[in-house]
Amino acid sequence: MLIRPFLLDALLVVFLPYFTVMNSVDCFHQIPESNALLMLECFLTLLMFLVVGK
């Protein structure tokens, strides 16, 4: 029972920030000037990373 929460925490701490940063970097490189919705999605992804990272 104690192993599962530990593995879940390790997964969140290690993999989630890594993939979130990678997705955000890729996302910001692909933003066309007129696509505000994609810009909003990238901003929310970064915001989620900052909240989860704390």
Residue matched to tokens 């994609």: 38
Long-range contact pairs involving 7-16 (C-beta distance under 8 Å, separation at least 24): 12/52, 16/52
Domain span including residue 19:
2-52
Give 1-54 pLDDT, tens digit per residue: 445 566 666 656 666 666 666 666 666 566 565 566 667 777 777 777 777 765
Whole-angstrom distance, CA of residue 52 vs CA of residue 41: 16
Domain count, the chain: 1
27 and 48 in contact (C-beta within 8 Å)? no
Q: What is the pLDDT of residue 1?
A: 45
pTM of the model: 0.35
Phi-psi region of 35 (alpha: psi -120 to 50; beta: other; left: phi over 0): beta
